[in-house]
Every structure is written in C-alpha cells, then in structure tokens.
Chains A and B, each alone.
Chain A
C-alpha cells in the first residue's frame, strides 16, 4: 500500500496542479500588466485601433483640410462607416473606430460633428451600398441627406497569406475626407497594421 501511495502521490499532485491551473478566470485589464498588449487573433483589437486612429488623426490635424475648416467656421461633418475589404469579419471593430474618429473631431473643435447614431437606417443603407463599387456621387447624396458639408470615411484592405505554420494578415487603412458638393477627396492617409499567427 505504501509503495502504491509513493507511486501515485506525485502523479496525483501533478494532475491536481494541472487541473487547478487550467480553469479560466475573469480579470480586469488594468490589473493584469500587458493584457491589452497581447495579440489574441489576426483580427483588429484595441491597440491596433488606437495606433490607426492616432496616426490618421495626427495626419489630419496637420493637413490642408483642417486649415480650410478653420476658415469656414466649424462646418458640419459626418463620419460614415468604413468599407471592410479584408478577409476578416471586423465590421464591429470598424464601427468602434468610427466613434473614435467622431470623438477626436468633436474634441479638436474645428468642425460640428453630425452623428450617424440617430440615423441607423441610413447607416444600413450605406453598408448595403458598399457591396458595390465605390461611387463618390453616392457619398455626395448621403452627405446632403445628413446635412453635412464634409464626409469622413475610409476603407480597410488586407493582404492575407497562409503558410504551413503561419498566417499573416496585413491591414491597410485609408481614411478620407470628401467634399459633399464635388465628391472631391480633400484628404487621404494610409496606416498599416500587421497581425499574425506564428
């Protein structure tokens, strides 16, 4: 019996330790150092969005279009959904980015932001239209419908490659400012983020 216990005790202890370490537990991002830094998939996460937002907004702030807005005494601007041209289902994340862009524009104070949150049907209509080829005249129509002078929008593309032991997705985000009257692109900037499973 004693030899049996000697044989099995270490195995049981090891198994117990392994089992107790296996169960997931809820944690708070602020309590676990680096939790937000860890990439968990090839999708876009908070850190990727912050990087893209920061780079795009910084480029926008120093662009000619902001000087134009300052001269026009806070023109009305709307931010409409970004087109998802990637191989990942990231539409929800892109909608979150849209709200971030609105927030940054509101706080910068150059423009009056007309939120699309009050017009969910139009948002759905815009998303449906994105199924087809990009049509600037359509953007002008939406701008007039919303009552905006300018539209901020964009598109995200991806280059997605898979190897035997790796999958890499490179995201390229283009943010644009369009003149509703003319459909002219007044500002465009690209940022990129790479995610991978290796």
Chain B
C-alpha cells in the first residue's frame, strides 16, 4: 500500500532537489528558452482550423503546407519528427475534401508508418518526462480510434479511385491494428464501424465472400446498420462464414434500395456506395482549472501522497491553477446530410460519430493527463522552494522564481490530436441499373455532384468530405 507523503517531507528533499535545481540552472534556462518559443500543437494548427471553419479548404491546405515547410501538397516535409506526421494526417483529410485522393493516400501511408515507429519507440524516459517536464514530451501516441481511422480514411481514398488492390492492403492493415488493439487495449477499442464496413465492401467487390461477411459481421457488432441487410442476405448463400448477427440481419432483410423503386436485385445490377464525412472532431485546447477541481478530475490517478502534498501547497497559497489540455467543441455534428441519385432522394445512415469516439477516448485519458499536470506543478513548486531555502534571502527568492518560471515555460499541455477528422460519417448504398448516374451529396450546405458510370455487376464509391 502506498504510504502517504507527509507535508513535512518537503524539507527532507531539500538537499537533493536544491542541488539538482542549482546544478541544472544553466541547462534549465537553456531548455526553457528553447521550448518557450514552441507553441503547442493546438496553436500550430489554429490557422488551419480557422480556414476550415470558414469553408476554405484550399486556404487550410496552404497553412498546413506552411507549417510543414513545403511549397505545395505534392511535397513531403524533409523531417517527419516533431508533429509533422500529425500535420500529414491533417493534410490528408483536407486533401480528401478537395478530391485529391492520390495525395491523401500518400500522406496517410507516410504518416501511418511514422506513427507506428513512434509508437514502438516510446520508452520509460518519455513517460517520466511527461510527469516531470511537459505533457507533450515524447512522441505522439494516437488513441485507438485515430489509429483505426488512418486505414479507414485511406480505404475510402482507394475505393473512390476504384482501386480494390490498394483498398485491400489498407483493409489488411486495419485488421492488424484491430488485432493489436483487441489484445493490448480492449476488444471494444478494436471495433470501428466504418472501417469494417469499407473492408467488407472491398472484399465483397473483390469476390471474396467469406472475408466480406467477416468484416460485415464486425461492422454489425459495432452498431445497427440496416444498409447491410441486403448485401448480407445476398452473400450468405455464397459463403461459409456464419454468425447469429448475420443470420438475424439477413432474416429481417427488406428489399434493397433501388433508384427505380423496384425491389429486384439481379446479379447484373450495379451498386453505388456514398460516404459523407462532415463536421469536425473537437480539437484539444490548453485550459486552466483551479487546483481543487483538478484534484477531483485526477482523483483516481494520483497517489494519496501527491494529493496530500497538493492540498498542503494549495493551503500555503503556492499552488492555485493547473494547466492541462481539454477538448473543445465539435463542429457540424448536428447537420443532416443529404444524398440524391438521379434527382431522387435516397437514404443515408449514420455509421460513426467520430466526435463521440474522441470524447470517449479523452474521458478515458483525462484523469491520467490531469494527474500528470498536477505532478509537474508539484515538482516545479518543490524545486523552487528547495532553491529558495538553500540560498535564502532575496537571491534565493529570485532563483526560486527563475527555476519555477523555467519549468513552467517548458510545460506545454499536450494538445496534439488528429484535429481535421470529421465529426460524423454517414453511408448510403443503392442498387442501380448499369450505366450513367448522377450522384448529389449535400453536407453543411456544400453540394457535390458527380457523374458515375457503372458496368453490369460493377460498383462505384463517391465520397464527400466537408470539414466544418
């Protein structure tokens, strides 16, 4: 059982902390000067998000290119360190929004590889640094929903280009990540409706029935998806994969949606899948809260000793506010997107509330993050106090302030996140006669019209991404 740390123990640490602080003074000052100039990720991406809010994706693209220090979206940054891989994810979403699926794919693939290396390179020193110096020390660790969305968004990029080969590779990468998350996080963390839906669609159109059914089964485990009842009913007699969920949805299947309003669905018919991504997930922003409230947030993640110490320092008036990252507000999550085929309205189905996934991931992590912020603040105060008591007098007070100011300057709340993800994803799926069709998609008042030509038994995927 952890032994509570008595407030009286602060002077006991005086010698060690004082000598550490005194010896580290030049280093701390240098570090402080170096980091004080670096804004958090939220500040770096503020202009990008503002341009998106204004409905100017091309302007947002210019800002993200400036941050990446490249002339245009065809270029990759020289370095993928810092937050550049995260900025590539941001750029990939913007590129998808302007139908540059090829460049979006490239950015996602580069970022996917780099984020994986970052994940594998995290070590104990980064975790210690997070508790001692700054929340954003160490490489970015993407939450499960972001990791799964990298492959999901890229699958959509490939499907929009009718590239089943590329989509299958992304589907396999998605499956590898799902397995990892199921084994290392929780089975629930590995579920993501749109990823499984698109993987199922990819394998269905590749003629691989059992793989398609397995992915559709996963998508149904994530949520109710009525648009899958027809495809599952069609696939079940052709495959060997079975599950109670698939049988149930197939038994309750209604005739599939068609433009012509005819229920029959022959093998010669083609199919159109539309994906509408709209709104934007809440970005993380730096926030200050009173120490009392912060201690409530972190109650489950702090040791009784740290709680006692924080309360003692709060009572002394040495600690009043705590800085930590908080989620802002999602945008556009209440919009009702529309889908019309050849001038007739067709149904759309909400498949994923990304904003709620972001909120859930943040709620899960919040206690630990706030606990880290409190621990860093305690470290600063204790180090400052130790210097003050060692030097004494005015010099001690000034040095104490200097040490605390330096450590405060280096402490940046970790506002890193994939902030250009859409808040919501909606799917629509209809069987059509082969030939030319006009697809109209509307989200957030932005309309996209695309002509598609489908062969007998063929398919087309149309995406519409509006990030505000």
Indicate the size class of the contact surface on chain A.
20 to 34
* A contact residues around B27 at 8 Å (CB): 11
> A98 CA to B113 CA in the complex, in Å?
26
Q: Which of B26, B113, B165 contacts A127 (CB 8 A)?
A: B165
B30 touches A166 (CB 8 A): no
* B contact residues around A166 at 8 Å (CB): 120
Interface string of B196-222 (1 = CB under 8 A from A): 000000000111100000000000000
> A88 CA to B68 CA in the complex, in Å?
26
Residue A89 at the B interface, CB < 8 A?
A: yes
Residue B169 at the A interface, CB < 8 A?
A: yes
Q: Nearest chain-A residue to B123 (Cβ)?
A: A165
Q: Which of A24, A162, A198 contacts B176 (CB 8 A)?
A: A162
> A167 CA to B175 CA in the complex, in Å?
14
B30 touches A11 (CB 8 A): yes
> A8 CA to B27 CA in the complex, in Å?
9
Q: Nearest chain-B residue to A85 (Cβ)?
A: B168
* A contact residues around B164 at 8 Å (CB): 131
* B contact residues around A86 at 8 Å (CB): 169, 172
- The answer to whether residues A7 and B26 also contact, given A131-B205, A167-B116, A197-B117 and a CB cut-off of 8 A, is yes
Residue A132 at the B interface, CB < 8 A?
A: yes
Residue B177 at the A interface, CB < 8 A?
A: yes
Interface string of A1-38 (1 = CB under 8 A from B): 00000011001000000000000100000000000000
B26 touches A8 (CB 8 A): yes
Interface string of B143-167 (1 = CB under 8 A from A): 0000000000000000000001110
A164 touches B184 (CB 8 A): yes
Residue A91 at the B interface, CB < 8 A?
A: yes
Residue A84 at the B interface, CB < 8 A?
A: yes
Subset of 18 A-B contacts with CB under 8 Å: A7-B26, A8-B26, A41-B113, A87-B173, A87-B175, A87-B176, A89-B169, A131-B165, A131-B168, A131-B206, A133-B206, A158-B172, A160-B173, A161-B176, A161-B179, A162-B176, A166-B120, A197-B117
Residues of B within 8 A of A (CB): 26-27, 30, 78, 109, 113, 116-117, 120, 164-166, 168-169, 172-173, 175-177, 179-180, 184, 205-208
| Contacts A158-B172, A163-B184, A197-B120 supplied; 18 other A-B pairs, CB < 8 Å | A11-B26, A11-B30, A85-B168, A86-B169, A86-B172, A87-B173, A87-B175, A127-B165, A131-B164, A131-B165, A131-B168, A131-B206, A131-B207, A160-B172, A161-B176, A163-B180, A164-B184, A197-B117
The 9 tightest CB contacts between A and B, nearest first, are A131-B164, A87-B172, A132-B207, A162-B180, A133-B207, A160-B176, A87-B173, A7-B26, A131-B206
